[in-house]
Structures are given as structure tokens and as C-alpha cells.
């Protein structure tokens, strides 16, 4: 399930890169590269998503949990201080990509 | 164990493609060349570090003007006596250990035609791409009858360091029942909510040490960032202590008497014990002198690559640039630095950069346990302008929400720890 989604995202990310590299109009067909979006997330959530003080860790969390949280913030079904203000434009593909990205970073050795 | 396996699988199968921070992404794997970064603050340190992380084949030289960097973010806490200056000062050791060639040798000239930077030492460096993140300089000539040395008496404290301490010490030495004037400029300027966070944390200090003292904001504009939230906070926490005098009520600065600590506006005269005079600003001088600002005061850039509209192979990020709708904040500058690094690594590999989301959040502390925020999400549009996406962003909920204010104060501290770790941490 998770593997399937991850593979789908990779194809999509590579596809978007190729579309642009071959001189497409610049419009990304599906989703936005999570490598770029994640660079905003880590400004609060810590380098590599390790968390910071009261701000939760993302690295190594199950992708399904991260997806559910982001979807809830976006749709207004999950309460937040700020996340609802930052997730509005995310598509389901974007959310899957971000969730897989942070999930794949894993936890540091304890 | 399971997690380890998952991670290894992820790296083996897809980690590189996903661009894990600990791996080079394939689009960039071929990248090589030399990037010179001017300025080791929020934009520059972020860009330099990210380049090393995502494209180890690129050599990176970072030109800085001091051995350590003092952050403007949280400098208002130093002024309010809540943190020490050493808490907001960072070395470049971590960047050096990651292979960034950090030189304390500021750029004195940038020649885009020759693709060359001249350093204070006289050395010359050629580059494939340059990143310019020098921040701001002050437009002293836009103030009546003063020059830069007025800051020795009337501190701006809008670049952190000695100026921060001067303002703090003046406030601590103020007579009982004294007055502090904060005089912020009109837009655009570095950190739109900054003067009002400063008023808050000065009031927080005064309410404990000099409770009959007053804070007067003699503003160069009529409205300011998060105004409703700030004013509600002042009402609740410091009733009667902070007054805001909008531009329309005073008509602008006419004369500044530093010795007498008095400012005359067109409609009224204000005397104080401490005056925090924050001058109008422009992109820092290196950007102006290199012609990166065109006929204006700020650098126009392409929102996808951050490449200057005035000079090829030169990218401008942070406060010196007009980055579409993004505010002049440390968060914005750091995010732009990271995304610009990806763009340059992609360009140097002969590929076209990808269009992602960029975010900003500015937390302000009204008191140590009372935080507020403004946020935004941006994406470059068809004209490669980074536009605020509709239906997103905005300020914290108004009204009486003590738990929300406490949470946002905690998140402000978490944010500061995170961004400084990402920029300078080991
Ligand atoms: C009081 C205050 C509070 C703030 N609070 C916040 C906050 O809470 N959150 C937030 O996000 N932002 C905040 N900011 C804004 C933040 O400080 C700036 O937006 C951010 O520093 C911009 O980054 P930059 O890289 O453009 O410039 P800087 O971070 O200023 O970095 C530029 C560096 O380049 C150096 N330099 C200039 N010219 C040269 C040269 N020729 N050669 C070498 N080096 C050079 C400068 O001296 C400086 O060290 C605050 C600002 C102030 C003043």
C-alpha cells in the first residue's frame, strides 16, 4: 500500500521533472515536488523533520498518519494553530508526496 | 528495526529520487561548478548549506563580513531582557565542516559580465552562479538632517549586535516613568511585524521594572502587520502603556534632535528618554552598486530560479529582493535560500527547475507566553512571480484564546530553535 504510493509518487516526480526539462509550459501536471515543499516544512519542524521543542517530529512517522493529519488540516476537520493556514492548496498527490518524503527519512539511531 | 529496514528500502528504491536531505537527488547528481554566496545570514547560510547537501559536486564559497552571525529574530527578546546576546549568536563552524569555504572577507564588488566577485582583501573569485543575500542597508538621506552616526545616540537595532545591546542598555537606564519612542519606517522594510513585537517586549520589561514608563510608536504608516492582534494583546497585558500614532496623525518626520532626544513631526513634537529610530531601507549596498536594483531600491528576480532580472547567473534572495508577495522575513529568506539552491543545482546539471510551494510563518511574541502569527503559501505563477495562493495564510484567530496564545509562543521558540539549527547547527 505504502510502497505502491511511494512508487507512484516517484514516477510522478520524475515525470514532472522530465516534462519541465523537455521544455514544457512549466505547469506541473500532478502534484508539486515534495523535495521543494519539504524545505519549507523543516524550517519549523527541524532539519530532516526531527521536530523542535513543541513542534512535532515528522521524520519516520507512518506515512498514513502524516497523510491523515495533513488532509485533516486542509479540510478543516483537524484542529490546529497554524497548519490549516499552510495546507489549503495541497492536492491529495502533494499530501501523499510530503507524507512519504518525511516517513522515508526514518528515525535516528536511539 | 522495522523502521531501519523501511528506511534502507526507501533509500535503495526511491530515497535518492525523493531527495532525502541526506542524499543527493538524481536530477542534481551531475551538477558541478562553483557557486559564490554573498552574505552569511538567513538567505546565504541557508543556500550554502543546502547546496552542499543536495549537490556535493558543487563547490561553494560563502563570503561573510563577520566571524559570527547575530540573528535579528529573537533580538527583541534580548532588548526585553529575556535572552542573552550569546543566545542569538552563531558561528560558521558547521558550514565549514560540511565543506563550505567560508571566508571572512566581504565582497566589495560584483561584476556579472565577468562573472567575478572582488573581495575586501583584493582577491577575485570567478563563479558559475552567484547568490546574493546581503540583506538591507539604511537610507539615511531619507531622514531629515541626520547621518549614519545618529545611530550611536538613537539606535536602530535593525541589524543585530552592538545596536541591540545599546538599545537594551538605554531602556534599562531610563528614569522612572520615562518614555521610549519607536519610529518605524513606511513599507517596504525588513520584518513588518518587528517594531510591534519590539514595543510589546519593551513594555513587558517596563511593566516589571518601570511600570509608569510609556512606549510611543510614531509610525511612518497608518496600518501595520497583525495590528488587531497586537493591539488586543497590548490592551490585555499592558493597558495604557503603548500608544500608536499613525502617520496621518503626525504627518511625518520634520526634524530630529538627537542630543535633546526629540523628534518634530509636521503636526506635533515628541520628546523621549530613548528613541529607537528605524530608518527607511533599501537592498544592501553591494546589490545597489552591482546594478541589481535597476532604477529602484530592491532587486527584481525570477520567482522560479531567483535569478536577477538585471544580471544573468546572479541570484538574489532574502530582504534585498522583491520576492513577489513574500514578506521580508528570516523564514522567507531561509526558504528562498533552500529553494534557490535546488534551482541552481538543477540548472548546473542542465535541467529546468521545478515549481514548488514556498511557505512563510512569522511568529511574534507579545509576551513570553503570548504568541501570534501570520502565515502564507506562495507559488510562482505563469509570469514566474511568487504569488500568495488564495484561500491560504493569514493571521491567528482573533479573540480571547489564552491556550492558543500560549501554544503559539511555544511554537515561536520551537521555530527559532529549528531555523537556527538548520542554518548553523552541528
Ligand atoms: C528586530 C527584528 C526581528 C525580526 N524577527 C524576525 C522573526 O521573528 N522571524 C523572521 O522570520 N524574521 C524576522 N526578522 C527579519 C529577518 O532578520 C530578515 O528578514 C532576515 O535576516 C533576512 O535575511 P537576509 O539573508 O536577506 O539578510 P541577513 O540575514 O541580514 O544576512 C545578510 C548578511 O550579509 C552581510 N553582508 C552584507 N553585505 C555583504 C557583503 N558585501 N559581503 C559579505 N557579507 C555581506 C550582512 O552583514 C549580513 O550578515 C526580524 C528582523 C528584525 C530587525
Q: Measure the CA angle with vertex B396, ends B393 and B397; round to 5°.
A: 115
The Cα–Cα gap between B119 and B98 comes to 23
With cut-offs at 50, 70 and 90, classify the pLDDT of residue A7. very low
Q: 3-class secondary structure for chain B?
A: CHHHHHHHHHHHHHHHHHCCCCCCCHHHHCCCEEEEEECCCHHHHHHHHHHHHHCCCEEEEEEECCCEEECCCCHHHHHCCCCCHHHHEEECHHHHHCCCEEEECCEEEEECCCCEEEECCCCEEECCEEEECCCEEECHHHCCCCCHHHHHCCCCCCCCCHHHHHHHHHHHCCCCCCEEEEECCCCCCCCCCHHHHHHHHHHHHHHHHCCCCEEEEECCCCCCCCHHHHHHHHHHHCCCCEEEECHHHHCCEEEEECCCCEEEECCCEEECCEEEECCCEEECHHHHHCCCCCCCCCEEECCCCCEECCCCCEEECHHHEECCCCCCCHHHHHHHHHHHHHHHHHHHCCCCCCCCCEEEEEEEEEECCEEEEEEEEEEECCCCCEEECCCCCEECCCCCCHHHHHHHHHHHHHHHHHHHHHHHCC
Q: Ligand 1: which of B36, B46, B320, B330 to mutate, most ligand atoms within 8 Å of CB?
A: B330
Write down the pLDDT at residue B343.
Answer: 96
C-alpha grid cell for residue B239?
Answer: 493597558
**Calpha distance B217→B223 (Å, rounded):** 12
Distance from CA of B139 to the nearest CA of A (A): 31
Q: Give me the pLDDT at residue A14, please.
A: 37
Q: How confident is the model over A19-47, as pLDDT tens digits?
A: 333 333 333 335 689 999 999 999 999 99
Pocket lining: B44 vs ligand 1, CB cutoff 6 Å: yes
Q: For residue A91, give how far its alpha carbon lies from the nearest alpha carbon of chain B (Å).
A: 12
B101-104 and B58-64 strand pairing: parallel
A91 contacts chain B (CB < 8 A) = no
What are the extents of the domains in chain B?
7-138+281-420, 142-277
- pLDDT at position B30: 73
Of B207, B170, B177, B194, residue with least CA distance to B73: B194
- How high is the pLDDT of residue A32? 81
Residue bearing the CA closest to ligand 1, atom 25 = B43
CB–CB contact A40 B415 (8 Å): no
* pLDDT tops 90 at residue A109: no
C-alpha of residue A77 to centroid of ligand 1, in Å: 37
Closest Cα of chain B to A73: distance in Å?
A: 12
34-73 in chain B: CB under 8 A from chain A: 50
Q: Is B102 in the pocket of ligand 1 (CB under 6 A)?
A: no
Task: With a cut of 60, say whether residue A84 has pLDDT above it.
Answer: yes
Q: How far apart are CA B367 and CA B229, in angstroms?
A: 12
Q: Report the alpha-carbon distance of residue B43 to residue B320 in Å, rounded.
A: 10
Q: By the CB < 8 Å criterion, does B325 face chain A?
A: no
Whether A1 shows a pLDDT value over 70: the answer reads: no
The response to whether residue B106 sits with its C-beta less than 6 Å from ligand 1 reads: yes
- Give the distance from residue B357's alpha carbon to the nearest chain A alpha carbon, in angstroms: 5
Cell numbers 518614555 correspond to B179
* Distance between CA atoms of residues A34 and A94, nearest Å: 7
From residue B247, alpha-carbon distances to A11, B129, B219, B230, B280 in Å are 55, 43, 6, 18, 14
**What is the per-residue pLDDT for B15?**
36
> pLDDT at position B29, please?
67
Q: What ipTM, to 2 d.p.?
A: 0.91
Using the beta-carbon criterion (under 8 Å), do B10 and A55 form an inter-chain contact? no
* Residue B135 CB–ligand 1 contact under 6 Å: yes
pLDDT value of residue B124: 98
User: What number is the average pLDDT over the span A57-61?
Assistant: 97
- CATH numbers and ranges of domains, chain A: 1-31 (no CATH), 32-110 (1.10.760.10)
Q: Is A47 on the interface with B (CB under 8 A)?
A: yes
For residue B376, the chain A residue with the least C-alpha distance is A86
- Residue B31 is predicted with a pLDDT of 87
pLDDT at residue B222, as a whole number? 98
CATH number for region B142-277: 3.50.50.60
Query: If you measure CA to CA, which chain A residue comes closest to B384?
Result: A26
The pLDDT > 70 percentage for chain A reads 68
CA-to-CA distance for B200 and A99, rounded, in angstroms? 38
Using DSSP's 3-state secondary structure scheme, residue A23 falls into coil
Max CA pair span of chain A: 46
How many other C-beta atoms lie within 10 A of the C-beta of residue A109? Answer: 5
CB contact under 8 A, B418 and A86: no
pLDDT tens-digit profile, chain B (426 residues): 333 333 333 333 333 334 344 444 556 767 899 999 999 999 999 999 999 999 999 999 999 999 999 999 999 999 999 999 999 999 999 999 999 999 999 999 999 999 999 999 999 999 999 999 999 999 999 999 999 999 999 999 999 999 999 999 999 999 999 999 999 999 999 999 999 999 999 999 999 999 999 999 999 999 999 999 999 999 999 999 999 999 999 999 999 999 999 999 999 999 999 999 999 999 999 999 999 999 999 999 999 999 999 999 999 999 999 999 999 999 999 999 999 999 999 999 999 998 999 999 999 999 999 999 999 999 999 999 999 999 899 999 999 999 999 999 999 999 999 999 999 999
* CATH topology (fold) of B7-138+281-420: FAD/NAD(P)-binding domain (3.50.50)
Tell which wins on pLDDT, A18 or A44. Answer: A44
Amino acid at each position: 500500500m505504502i510502497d505502491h504510493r511511494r512508487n507512484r509518487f516517484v514516477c510522478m516526480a520524475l515525470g514532472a521533472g522530465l516534462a519541465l526539462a523537455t521544455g514544457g509550459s512549466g505547469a506541473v501536471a500532478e502534484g508539486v515536488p515534495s523535495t521543494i515543499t519539504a524545505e519549507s516544512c523543516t524550517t519549523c519542524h527541524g532539519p530532516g523533520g526531527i521536530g523542535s521543542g513543541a513542534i512535532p517530529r515528522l521524520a519516520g512517522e507512518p506515512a498514513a498518519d502524516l497523510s491523515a493529519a495533513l488532509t485533516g488540516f486542509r479540510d478543516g476537520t483537524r484542529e490546529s494553530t497554524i497548519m490549516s493556514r499552510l495546507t489549503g492548496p495541497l492536492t491529495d498527490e502533494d499530501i501523499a508526496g510530503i507524507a512519504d518524503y518525511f516517513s522515508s527519512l526514518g528515525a535516528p539511531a536511539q | 528495526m522495522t523502521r531501519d529496514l523501511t528506511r534502507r528500502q526507501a533509500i535503495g528504491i526511491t530515497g535518492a529520487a525523493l531527495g532525502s536531505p541526506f542524499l543527493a537527488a538524481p536530477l542534481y547528481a551531475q551538477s558541478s561548478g562553483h557557486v559564490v554566496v554573498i552574505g552569511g545570514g538567513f538567505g546565504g547560510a541557508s543556500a550554502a548549506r543546502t547546496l552542499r547537501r543536495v549537490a556535493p559536486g558543487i563547490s561553494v564559497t560563502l563570503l561573510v563580513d563577520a566571524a559570527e552571525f547575530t540573528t535579528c529574530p529573537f533580538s527583541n527578546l534580548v532588548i526585553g531582557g529575556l535572552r542573552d546576546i550569546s543566545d542569538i549568536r552563531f558561528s560558521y563552524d558547521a558550514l565549514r565542516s560540511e565543506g563550505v569555504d567560508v571566508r571572512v572577507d566581504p565582497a566589495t564588488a560584483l561584476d556579472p559580465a565577468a562573472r567575478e566577485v572582488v573581495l575586501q582583501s583584493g582577491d577575485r573569485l570567478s563563479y558559475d552562479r552567484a547568490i546574493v543575500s546581503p540583506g538591507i542597508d539604511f537610507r539615511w538621506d531619507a531622514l531629515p538632517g541626520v547621518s549614519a552616526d545618529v545611530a550611536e545616540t538613537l539606535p536602530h537595532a535593525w541589524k543585530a549586535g552592538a545596536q541591540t545591546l545599546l538599545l537594551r542598555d538605554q531602556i534599562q537606564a531610563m528614569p522612572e516613568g520615562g518614555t521610549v519612542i519607536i519610529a518605524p519606517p513606511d513599507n517596504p522594510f525588513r520584518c513588518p511585524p518587528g517594531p510591534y513585537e519590539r514595543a510589546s517586549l519593551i513594555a513587558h520589561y517596563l511593566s516589571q521594572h518601570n511600570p509608569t514608563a510609556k512606549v510611543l510608536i510614531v509610525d511612518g504608516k497608518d496600518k501595520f502587520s497583525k495590528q488587531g492582534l497586537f493591539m488586543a494583546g497590548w490592551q490585555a497585558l499592558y493597558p495604557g502603556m503603548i500608544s500608536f500614532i499613525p502617520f496621518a496623525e503626525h504627518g511625518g518626520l520634520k526634524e530630529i534632535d538627537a542630543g535633546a532626544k526629540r523628534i518634530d513631526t509636521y503636526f506635533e513634537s515628541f520628546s523621549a528618554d530613548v528613541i529607537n529610530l528605524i530608518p527607511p531601507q533599501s537592498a544592501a549596498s553591494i546589490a545597489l552598486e552591482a546594478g541589481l536594483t535597476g532604477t529602484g531600491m530592491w532587486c527584481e528576480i525570477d520567482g522560479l530560479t531567483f535569478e536577477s532580472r538585471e544580471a544573468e547567473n546572479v541570484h538574489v534572495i532574502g530582504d534585498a529582493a522583491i520576492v513577489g508577495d513574500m514578506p521580508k522575513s528570516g523564514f522567507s529568506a531561509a526558504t528562498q535560500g533552500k529553494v534557490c539552491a535546488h534551482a541552481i543545482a538543477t540548472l548546473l546539471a542542465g535541467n529546468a527547475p521545478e515549481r514548488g510551494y514556498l511557505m512563510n510563518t512569522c511568529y511574534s511574541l507579545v509576551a513570553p507566553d503570548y504568541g501570534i502569527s501570520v502565515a502564507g503559501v506562495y507559488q510562482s505563477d505563469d509570469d514566474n512571480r511568487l504569488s500568495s495562493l488564495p484561500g491560504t495564510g493569514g493571521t491567528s484567530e482573533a479573540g480571547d484564546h489564552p491556550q492558543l496564545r500560549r501554544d503559539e509562543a511555544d511554537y515561536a521558540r520551537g521555530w527559532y530553535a529549528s531555523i537556527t539549527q538548520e542554518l548553523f547547527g552541528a
